[in-house]
Amino acid sequence: MRVEIISIGDELLIGQVVNSNATWMGRELTQQGFNITAVTSVGDQGDDIIRSIDHAFERADIILLTGGVGPTTDDITKHTLCRYFHTALEFNDDVLQQIESLFLSRNIQLNQLTRKQAYVPVGATVIQNKVGTAPILWFRKEEKVLISMPGVPFEMRTTMRDDIIPRLQTEFQAERYLQRTYLVAGITESALATRLAGFETLLPAGFTLAYLPSFGFIRLRLSVWGEMRKPEMKQQGRKLKLLLGKEFVARSEKKIEALLGEKLRKQQLTVSTAESCTGGYIAHLITAVPGASDYFEGSIVSYDNRIKEELLDVDKQTIERDGVVSREVVEQMARNVAHKLKTECSIAVSGIMGPEGGTREKPVGTVWICTKQADELIAVEYHVGSSREENIERTANLAIIQLIKMLTRKLVKEISR
Amino acid sequence: MRVEIISIGDELLIGQVVNSNATWMGRELTQQGFNITAVTSVGDQGDDIIRSIDHAFERADIILLTGGVGPTTDDITKHTLCRYFHTALEFNDDVLQQIESLFLSRNIQLNQLTRKQAYVPVGATVIQNKVGTAPILWFRKEEKVLISMPGVPFEMRTTMRDDIIPRLQTEFQAERYLQRTYLVAGITESALATRLAGFETLLPAGFTLAYLPSFGFIRLRLSVWGEMRKPEMKQQGRKLKLLLGKEFVARSEKKIEALLGEKLRKQQLTVSTAESCTGGYIAHLITAVPGASDYFEGSIVSYDNRIKEELLDVDKQTIERDGVVSREVVEQMARNVAHKLKTECSIAVSGIMGPEGGTREKPVGTVWICTKQADELIAVEYHVGSSREENIERTANLAIIQLIKMLTRKLVKEISR
């Protein structure tokens, strides 16, 4: 089943917003065994939309369209689909009722413009939108389908999860898709590929091993089609985990910050951060997870050295002797932030993110990360890249993974006091 | 000049990375007066790439290709372009020299795989890559051009700015593109459109007004072609600014966090943040700007209420009486963080980001933001949306804009002690 995504909206072309919808859909569908072959963004122009649909139908079985379904005049997807499928709009009472109940629950008055959302193309199957006004439209073209849905991320995600993916599975997937995802850190992609070359060669027919690298870690996805291959999957998975050795972090598809949250909650631990070079980004990642208040207490962002001394009680002489990017300083930061914020665990980072600030001994990209749990401290020196944006991202990920490894009793490079 | 972008790489289809390259290119090119008509992402498959190029040439004058130009076997763009343009590879000494000097400066040994980067298609104009190994290739097809460049963001951005955009301007733009961008906040897009309807109708021929909404603010871009229209641009710009009234924040294309940094640096002021619901995200935005250490000192992320009392000295009785999401609390947070971190300015936020934590009186989306400069405090209540991710983003933007307005002596809704 080849899938193509068409994202509609001028804002995507002029660089106003990132096409995060396509990324989300790509990830979810790939995880369910669908094969995405192209993603196209086009503006709110009927001719451009039609040309994109034509091209997509040349190669794909499933076309997913997002955007351009609002009630205002610049939203033309519905009319364009009528043109494409040679059909017309008709009023749909069920859709109106759904919109009315939605508005009632939000205590808003229904206006004429919104009422127009209840007009749907004749011949399309209508799926109710439980969280918005634009109905989801499901068109058939011989053996193929085209589904039009809202571009509002929350509405798109809700209908994709609840309606569209289950229906596509029923209709297009005769077999079950099995997969296991392994989080790996502390090894480059090429070194990992070399280590796993033999394993890959010996994989039973139908098995696929995909490398999904991020800044600071790699995900490996082992997959195969068919319920009856479960025992083999278990066996291959065990073999793979053994090969991953100490670089194995966890078996999980979750974001690493959500995985950290899960571990902390399970072990009933709390965490705080003391951040220099990451400027609060680690705290942001941790708190972006809903429910983070169960385990996250707070953070001290000591961007200026003075703050490290005054708020985190880092010893002035240590800074003068070892420099702020040093084992001693991050250890003091981790210990003191946990003490001040009364948390069992903590993360402390200090490094040089660039473009300025590097020296011969400590070039841009030098980072010390210390993680703490109870009385144990682990401090590791890393060398990240040369671009500021990437360095901040990579450092935050490395710090989160270091704490996950510590919480799951995995060996981190170096154990100190 | 219609431009289409083709982004190559499996990682874009499976949702592993967001296509931020296309967003960056779309923004830069639009600002220079180019018209982006489509963005397509395809995998590392020769046939898919060729089909995309074919489709793009149907409608565009300029095709920009990124990705698939690394030295490993899965990078097939160069070979695919040879197939498309019916040409072959030849060794290019200049490219090899460029790569050698790059490796020398980084103190790395050149290997055989990297040497292969010096093979380029016969007939293509070669532009040297100053920051990477893959040369930039410029192909002609009648009046049209196709340019292939690396997908590594830093390499792509460098060559786009230094080489590609200037050359495209020389070749495709007979006229100069004039534009002014206005940052507007505190008004919805539809209210703004209503206010500016008359202005838009009376705009001289050739002038365009574009609305670029973000979370918490809107950018307005006024543009026209031709150097000789400068006086008109000045006149229309003045008229527009007058109409924007107190909702006008600044004339700038910069990110708001960079704009804030510019204002702080100019006025030689320093800033700190006290963050509850944004969990360090405002500090992260501020420190993502290179050179932020000139004006940013640090932050206290008081996610838990206890931390508000213990680290920020917020009065316990105030919290009990007014709740943590209140004017009194954010005022104390702003005052105390500035005092503790010894900064002239500060930002404090407290709110309910959801999905949990809302009450009847204070539903999800309720936020108090206080900004401080010298002895002045401004505290404003906002109501953001219902999705956690968006709420954090919107709150951070609103806070940054509130401080920019304060620093530029713009009227904020409400002034308090």
Mean pLDDT of A302-308: 94
Contacts of A284 in chain B (CB under 8 A): 278-281, 284, 392
Residue A416 DSSP symbol: B
CB–CB contact A298 B284 (8 Å): no
Residue from the list B15, B41, B301 with its beta carbon closest to the beta carbon of A30:
B15
User: Minimal Cα–Cα distance from A111 to chain B, Å?
Assistant: 15
Q: What is the pLDDT of residue B346?
A: 98
Tell me, yes or no, if A74 comes closer than 8 A to chain B by beta carbon.
no
CB–CB contact A303 B288 (8 Å): no
Tell me, yes or no, if A251 comes closer than 8 A to chain B by beta carbon.
no
- In Å, how far are B193, B217, B222, B236 from B199, measured between CA atoms? 10, 20, 11, 9
Torsion, Cα B249 B255 B261 B264, to 10 degrees, reads 0
User: Minimal Cα–Cα distance from A350 to chain B, Å?
Assistant: 13
Q: Residue B29's closest chain A neighbor by CA? A: A14
Tell me, yes or no, if B363 comes closer than 8 A to chain A by beta carbon.
no
Residue from the list B15, B23, B283 with its beta carbon closest to the beta carbon of A24:
B15
Taking 80 as the threshold, does the pLDDT of residue A207 lie above it?
yes
User: Minimal Cα–Cα distance from A270 to chain B, Å?
Assistant: 11
CB–CB contact B298 A303 (8 Å): yes
Instruction: List strand residue ranges (DSSP E) for A303-390, in order.
Output: 345-351, 366-373, 376-383
Contacts of A29 in chain B (CB under 8 A): 15
Mean pLDDT of A184-206: 92
Q: List the end-to-end C-alpha distance of chain A, in Å, as a whole number.
A: 55
Q: Residue B35's closest chain A neighbor by CA? A: A14
CB–CB contact A298 B287 (8 Å): no
- Disruptive mutation site among B3, B10, B23 for chain A (greatest number of A CBs within 10 Å): B23
Q: Which of B:265-284 have CB within 8 Å of A?
A: 273, 275, 278-284
- Disruptive mutation site among B276, B284, B312, B339 for chain A (greatest number of A CBs within 10 Å): B284
Contacts of B298 in chain A (CB under 8 A): 300-304, 307, 311
Tell me, yes or no, if A11 comes closer than 8 A to chain B by beta carbon.
yes
**Contact status, residue A184 vs residue A220, Cβ threshold 8 Å:** yes
Q: Which of A:136-165 have CB within 8 Å of B?
A: 153-154
Mean pLDDT over each residue of chain A, to the nearest integer:
93
Taking 90 as the threshold, does the pLDDT of residue A278 lie above it?
yes
Residue A351 DSSP symbol: E
CB–CB contact A14 B212 (8 Å): yes
Q: What is the pLDDT of residue B416?
A: 41
**Residue B57, token pair as written in the block:** 């040439």
Tell me, yes or no, if A297 comes closer than 8 A to chain B by beta carbon.
yes
Task: Extract the residue ranges of chain B whose pLDDT is less than 70.
Answer: 411-417
ipTM of the complex: 0.85
**Contact status, residue B379 vs residue B221, Cβ threshold 8 Å:** no
Contacts of B399 in chain A (CB under 8 A): none
Tell me, yes or no, if B183 comes closer than 8 A to chain A by beta carbon.
no
CB–CB contact A13 B37 (8 Å): yes
Write phi, then psi, for B311 (nearest 5 degrees): -100, -25
Q: If pLDDT is split at 50, 70 and 90, which confidence band does A417 have?
A: very low
| Helix H or strand E encompassing A89 | strand A89-91
Which residue, chain included where needed, has tokens 């709390």?
A270
**Contact status, residue B86 vs residue B124, Cβ threshold 8 Å:** no
Contacts of A40 in chain B (CB under 8 A): 38-41
Q: For residue B29, which of B66, B68, B55, B57 has the smallest C-alpha distance?
A: B66
Contacts of B351 in chain A (CB under 8 A): none
Taking 70 as the threshold, does the pLDDT of residue A416 lie above it?
no
Write phi, then psi, for B319 (nearest 5 degrees): -60, -45
pLDDT digits (tens, 9 = 90+) for B33-65: 899 999 999 999 999 999 999 999 999 999 999
Which residues partner with B275 through β-bridges? B301, B349
Q: Residue B211's closest chain A neighbor by CA? A: A11
Taking 80 as the threshold, does the pLDDT of residue A410 lie above it?
no
Tell me, yes or no, if A131 comes closer than 8 A to chain B by beta carbon.
no
Tell me, yes or no, if B388 comes closer than 8 A to chain A by beta carbon.
yes
Contacts of A338 in chain B (CB under 8 A): none
Q: Residue B309's closest chain A neighbor by CA? A: A341
CATH class of A2-172: alpha beta
Of residues A3 and A215, which shows the higher confidence score? A3
CATH class of B177-251: alpha beta
Fold designation for B256-407? Maf protein (3.90.950)
Q: What is the pLDDT of residue A114?
A: 83
User: Minimal Cα–Cα distance from A81 to chain B, Å?
Assistant: 19
CB–CB contact B298 A298 (8 Å): no
Residue B200 CB contacts under 8 Å (≥ 6 apart), including other chains: B209
- In Å, how far are A182, B196, B214 from B188, measured between CA atoms? 45, 12, 11
Distance CA B118, CA B137 (A): 12
CB–CB contact B389 A307 (8 Å): no
Handedness of CA A73, A77, A80, A85 (dihedral sign): negative
Which residues partner with A7 through β-bridges? A41, A66
User: Minimal Cα–Cα distance from B257 to chain A, Å?
Assistant: 13
Tell me, yes or no, if A388 comes closer than 8 A to chain B by beta carbon.
yes
Q: Per-domain residue ranges for chain B?
A: 2-172, 177-251, 256-407
**Contact status, residue B274 vs residue B299, Cβ threshold 8 Å:** yes
Q: For residue B221, which of B209, B213, B237, B233 has the smallest C-alpha distance?
A: B209
Residue from the list A20, A27, A38 with its beta carbon closest to the beta carbon of B14:
A27
Q: Which of B:193-232 have CB within 8 Å of A?
A: 210, 212-214
Q: What is the pLDDT of residue A131?
A: 86
Contacts of A73 in chain B (CB under 8 A): none
Give the per-residue SS3 of chain B.
Answer: CEEEEEEECHHHHCCCCCCHHHHHHHHHHHHCCCEEEEEEEECCCHHHHHHHHHHHHHHCCEEEEECCCCCCCCCCHHHHHHHHCCCCEEECHHHHHHHHHHHHHHCCCCCHHHHHHHEEECCCEEECCCCCCCCEEEEEECCEEEEEECCCHHHHHHHHHHHHHHHHHHHHCCCCEEEEEEEECCCCHHHHHHHHHHHHHCCCCCCEEEEEEECCEEEEEEEEECHHHHHHHHHHHHHHHHHHHHHEEEECCCCHHHHHHHHHHHCCCCEEEEECCCCCHHHHHHHCCCCHHHCEEEEEEECCHHHHHHCCCCCHHHHHHHCCCCHHHHHHHHHHHHHHHCCCEEEEEEECCCCCCCCCCCCCCEEEEEEEECCEEEEEEEECCCCHHHHHHHHHHHHHHHHHHHHCCCCCCCCEC
CB–CB contact A292 B279 (8 Å): yes
CB–CB contact B283 A279 (8 Å): yes
Residue B197 CB contacts under 8 Å (≥ 6 apart), including other chains: none
User: Minimal Cα–Cα distance from A230 to chain B, Å?
Assistant: 24
CB–CB contact A299 B280 (8 Å): yes
| Helix H or strand E encompassing A338 | helix A327-341
Distance CA A6, CA B49 (A): 17
Q: What is the pLDDT of residue B399?
A: 98
3-class secondary structure, A110? coil
User: Minimal Cα–Cα distance from A340 to chain B, Å?
Assistant: 8
**Contact status, residue A19 vs residue B23, Cβ threshold 8 Å:** yes
Degrees, nearest 5: CA angle A391-A395-A399 = 175
Q: What is the pLDDT of residue B113?
A: 77
Tell me, yes or no, if B52 comes closer than 8 A to chain A by beta carbon.
yes
